[in-house]
Amino acid sequence: MIRLVQQALDRGLEVNERLAAAAANGFDWLFRREHLVKSGRTEFELVHVGDPMTVRHYTLDGERAIELEDGTLLPVRRRRHAVPLVLVPPLGVTTETFDLMPNRSLVRYMAARGFKVYLICWGKPGRRHARLNIGDYADRMMGEALASVRAHSGVDEVSLLGWCMGGLLSLIHAGLPGNTGIRNIVTVASPIDMRGGGMVGGVAQALNTPAMLIRKYTDFRLLAMNPEKLHTPGWVTTLAFKLTDPVGSVTTYWDLITNLWDREFVESHSTTSNYLNNMLSYPAGVLQDFVVKVALDNRLAAGEIDVGRKISRFRRIRSAMLVFAGENDVLVPASTARGILDLVNAQDKTFALAPGGHMGVILGSGAQAAVWARSADWLVSRSLAQPGTHPGRLTQARSRASR
């Protein structure tokens, strides 16, 4: 009898503690949500400042280990790998993509694994950036960004890791004439074949027939329109992304209510929601290029795309390649992403499926082991200094990259 009473008292205390914690967390969620958001906490230095693009360099100075999502500690490797790693996020999202939370931060993870980590931040484009197109990003801005990385690191070669359109921009840049010095490329959920299935491919196919009729019987051309008239605010990007999973966008709030007592869950939910609710606008020039050249004409699947007056050809790419696709990605399934391996001239190339959907494959609970760790392991042996490298060569690299 006494034992039953004690169990009832313990249970009551537990319920009271949870109710108190839920009340405190609920107050913060309603009135002090900024205290719950943990994104973008890793320190960095700017090595290039442009408009709107900047380049960040991340280090973990003074830290001996970082905590991972599962609670384990990863020791920080002080000896750096020779080849720098450049992270390339997609457009339409903030840089918190790769620094979402301290224990779910790709920049922290890769820095702890011993890489010289750089991040291209595409900035926050507004109406005055509406004319920016794929060429501006894949050619001019990527060129400026990688030149600053080479100048800062003193190394000729770099590795690129891009998610979604970040992977596309990396591939298009690598396929342009004269763009050597890219030793490794990792892409995650980057669409190549727009007839390969998935939601993106389905939309492209649905638009193909009416687009052909419009081209045949009218003078209307989307690429001829003034991009400034097509500018849309960031909330349109947020709405479009949430419409890909409308049920999940609603049920996530039920998850919050049922776990309101759990501070860690509330912080994670608030941080992720803040990220998803503050997506950025796409420059209209990029959307024009993407809709016509990538979605309708499916030029990437043919292995080339015109970028201004230049043509990017994937057969020029000889970099080692690791290509990921999400097992449950309804936007960019494996059939849409893996086609790049048939188009490049790389001898060293690998395809891998990873758990998660389009966002979960890079940010989800399984991403650290399935994508981050595997990418780091794959890059380590491919990031060694080339035989014969000496300080004079590094100095020359700085000089060439700064010109």
CATH number at residue 71: 3.40.50.1820
Q: Give residue 353's pLDDT.
A: 97
In a domain, 242, yes or no: no
Q: What is the pLDDT of residues 128-186, one digit of tens each?
A: 999 999 999 999 999 999 999 999 999 999 999 999 999 999 999 999 999 999 999 99
**Is residue 116 included in any domain, yes or no?**
yes
Q: Is residue 162 part of a domain?
A: yes
> Does residue 200 lie within any of the structural domains?
yes
Q: Is residue 326, in this structure, part of any structural domain at all?
A: yes
- Binning pLDDT at 50, 70 and 90, where does residue 390 land? very low
Confidence of residue 251 (pLDDT cuts 50, 70, 90): low
> CB 291: neighbour CB atoms within 10 A?
17
Question: What confidence category does residue 38 fall into, taking pLDDT thresholds of 50, 70 and 90?
Answer: confident
Contacts with 5 (C-beta within 8 Å, 6 or more apart), sequence order? none
Prior bond of 52 cis (ω within 30°): yes
Q: CA–CA separation, 274 vs 200, rounded Å?
A: 25
Q: How many CB atoms lie within 10 A of CB 138?
A: 28
pLDDT (0 to 100) of residue 217: 67
Class of residue 9 by CB neighbours under 10 A (exposed 0-12, middle 13-18, buried 19+)? exposed
- Is pLDDT larger for residue 375 or for residue 19? 375
Q: Which pLDDT score, from 0 to 100, does residue 255 have?
A: 83
pTM assigned to the model: 0.89
215 compared with 317, residue with greater pLDDT: 317
What range defines the domain where residue 315 resides? 39-232+281-402
Which residues, 6+ apart, have CB-to-CB distance to 383 below 8 Å? 81, 82, 83, 85, 115, 159, 183, 184
> What is the C-alpha to C-alpha distance for residues 286 and 389, in angstroms, rounded to an integer?
39
Specify the number of domains making up the chain. 1
Residue 15 confidence (pLDDT) above 90:
no
Amino acid identity for residue 161 in this structure? L
The more confidently predicted of residues 72 and 247 is 72
* Rounded average pLDDT over 2-24: 70
**Mean of pLDDT over the chain:** 87
pLDDT band of 394, cuts 50, 70, 90: very low
Tokens representing 402 are: 């700064």
- pLDDT value, residue 27: 84
Mean pLDDT of 221-228: 82
Domain membership flag for residue 158: yes
Is residue 300 in a domain? yes
Q: For residue range 330-381, list pLDDT tens digits in order.
A: 899 999 999 999 999 999 999 999 999 999 999 988 999 999 999 999 999 9
Residue 128 lies in a domain: yes
Of all residues in the chain, what percent carry a pLDDT higher than 70? 86
